[in-house]
Amino acid sequence: MAVNPFLEVVNLRCRFGGVDALRDVSFSLSKESITTVIGPNGAGKSTLLGCISGEFKPKKGKVFLENKEITGAKAWKVPALGIARTFQIPRVVSHLNTFDNVFLPIYAKSRGVGSKKMAAEKAAHMLELCGLIDQSDLEAKELSTAQTRRLELARAMGLNPRLLLLDEPLGGLSPTQVDETLELILKLRSLGITVVAVEHVVRAALEIADSAIFLSNGQLIGEGEPREVLAREDIVEMYLGG
Ligand code: ADP
Ligand code: MG
């Protein structure tokens, strides 16, 4: 357990129909850390992110961000809490160009308080950070898988998150692109952001994560230093079996 938890999840349960996708999951993590969520398909990893980001309403349990309860916060209110996320299947606006994909959420969030110019500068900064500035005028649907993932990241970063939830940010990437993304995630942490990333690339967990959470069948099976969690015999077995 983190001594001074930034995010704390307590006995979280999420049910879809008759199925418990999360069963009394509890963990905590510290500020400016990278936590990786690993586990077989259907373990409840995406559901966990969805329960933190307001996409799903937990049936039971609580979520705290810096000691403030945010359980069941509505998805549209979550960016104002300082939480942004990306999805396993990226959600970008395919008919808009790359720039507008980042600019419009920033401008919408400023609700007319900030100027259009400030929003545009911020969007350009995020595109620069995510290595997409040269693609600004391309329609999102013209981007490669790796570029689309980075665009989604730039959109999330534009919301000034304190907590960034990434669902399989390495999905569909080549080994070189994996390395680039891992480097980018490390950079985001150095900017003061706390990251929770669902991973299917075990190497990524070992290379960049400060802590790992292993889920199986909706239950938290292991938590701690990634190398230790991933070395556990029961976990290796569940992973290979999944
Ligand atoms: P993971 O991301 O670890 O692969 P998920 O969180 O997507 O797993 O899914 C956990 C379980 O919850 C699975 O049994 C899945 O079928 C179910 N599930 C996930 N999302 C929904 C949903 N929106 N409606 C109904 N069942 C869902
Ligand atoms: Mg998933």
State whether 133 and 181 are in the same domain: no
Distances, alpha carbon 112 to alpha carbons 53, 109, 115, in Å = 25, 8, 7
Is 88 contained in some domain? no
Average pLDDT, the chain: 93
Residue 222 Cα to chain centre, angstroms? 20
State whether 74 and 114 are in the same domain: no
Tokens of 45: 């990893």
CA of 160 to the centre of ligand 2 (A): 24
Place of tokens 């419009």: 104
CA of 38 to the centre of ligand 1 (A): 14
State whether 154 and 202 are in the same domain: no
Is 70 contained in some domain? yes
State whether 63 and 172 are in the same domain: yes
For the chain, how many structural domains are there in total? 2
> pLDDT at residue 30 above 90?
yes
> Which domain, by its residues, includes 203?
1-82+161-242
State whether 73 and 185 are in the same domain: yes
> pLDDT at residue 11 above 90?
yes
CA of 198 to the centre of ligand 1 (A): 14
- What protein residues have CB closer than 5 angstroms to ion ligand 2? 45-46, 88
Whichever domain contains 66, its CATH number is: 3.40.50.300
Residue 234 Cα to chain centre, angstroms? 26
Query: Cα(135)–Cα(132) distance, rounded to whole angstroms?
Result: 5
Full-model pTM? 0.94
Domain boundary among 159, 177, 209: 159
Query: Cα(133)–Cα(145) distance, rounded to whole angstroms?
Result: 16
State whether 63 and 177 are in the same domain: yes
pLDDT in tens, 99-156: 999 999 999 888 767 789 999 999 999 999 999 999 999 999 999 999 999 999 999 9
Ligand 1: which atom is nearest the Cα of residue 47? 6
Ligand 1: which atom is nearest the Cα of residue 22? 10
Q: Which residues contact 181 (CB under 8 A, 6 or more apart)?
A: 146, 149, 150, 169, 170, 173
Q: Which ligand is nearest to the CA of 41?
A: 1
Domain boundary among 159, 179, 213: 159
ipTM associated with this complex = 0.98
Reduced to 3 states (helix: H, G, I; strand: E, B; else coil), residue 120 is helix
Is 34 contained in some domain? yes
Is 30 contained in some domain? yes
pLDDT in tens, 50-75: 999 999 999 999 999 999 999 999 98
List alpha helices for 60-144, DSSP H.
78-81, 98-110, 116-129
List alpha helices for the chain, DSSP H.
45-52, 78-81, 98-110, 116-129, 145-157, 175-190, 202-208, 226-231, 233-241
Protein residue with least CA distance to atom 24, ligand 1: 16
pLDDT in tens, 192-242: 999 999 997 777 878 899 999 999 999 999 999 999 998 999 998 887 764
State whether 41 and 78 are in the same domain: yes
State whether 98 and 146 are in the same domain: yes
Q: Which ligand is nearest to the CA of 87?
A: 2
